Each structure stands twice: as structure tokens, then as C-alpha cells.
């Protein structure tokens, strides 16, 4: 994942992935993936539609896979 497109870090002890995307009128937006207990949470742009390029979709896929693995370990 490219650092410019994705923020991968920790907030309040939780691992967080932030994936850059756009909306339907091409404004910069982001999707956030995090793990809450043993559940994966996907947060989209409020009231918006997330539009992803192929590269951003690959980053989201990676973030979801890593979050799912982390959630499984939290069971």
C-alpha cells in the first residue's frame, strides 16, 4: 500500500486502515477500516458514495483481509 493513498496506523490501541477514494463528483474522500472487538468495521464517507480506482480497490481488499485476520485473533 502506498503511504500517500493509505494511512495504516493505530488509534486508541486499535489498528486502523484509511484508504483514499473519491465520490461521484471526483472530490477526495476516504474509507476507514478498523476492528472493534472481533468485528470488522468499514466506515465510508458520510452521506456519500465511495468511488475507487483499481489500485484503491486493491488497497481496500488488503486492509479488509488484514482486519479480518486481526478480528479472528480477537475471538
pLDDT tens per residue, range 43-65: 999 999 999 999 999 999 999 99
Sheet holding 14-22, edge to edge: 6-11, 14-22, 28-36, 39-43
- C-alpha 44/C-alpha 18 separation (Å) is 10
Domain-embedded: residue 10: yes
**Is it the case that residue 7 has pLDDT exceeding 80?**
no
Structural domain including 15 reads 6-73
Helix (H) or strand (E) holding 65: helix 54-73
pTM to 2 decimal places: 0.81
Domain-embedded: residue 1: no
Helix (H) or strand (E) holding 9: strand 6-11
- C-alpha 68/C-alpha 72 separation (Å) is 6
Q: How many domains is the chain partitioned into structurally?
A: 1
Domain-embedded: residue 53: yes
> pLDDT value at position 2?
37
Mean pLDDT along residues 5-24: 78
Q: Which three cell numbers stand for residue 59?
A: 488497497
Domain-embedded: residue 19: yes
Domain-embedded: residue 24: yes
Length, in residues, of the chain: 75
Amino acid at each position: 500500500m502506498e503511504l500517500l493513498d493509505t494511512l495504516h496506523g493505530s488509534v486508541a490501541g486499535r489498528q486502523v486502515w484509511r484508504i483514499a477514494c473519491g465520490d461521484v463528483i471526483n472530490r477526495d474522500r476516504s474509507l476507514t477500516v478498523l476492528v472493534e472487538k472481533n468485528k470488522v468495521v468499514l466506515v465510508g464517507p458520510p452521506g456519500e458514495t465511495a468511488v475507487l480506482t483499481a489500485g484503491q480497490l486493491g488497497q481496500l481488499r488488503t486492509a479488509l483481509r488484514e482486519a479480518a485476520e486481526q478480528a479472528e485473533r480477537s475471538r
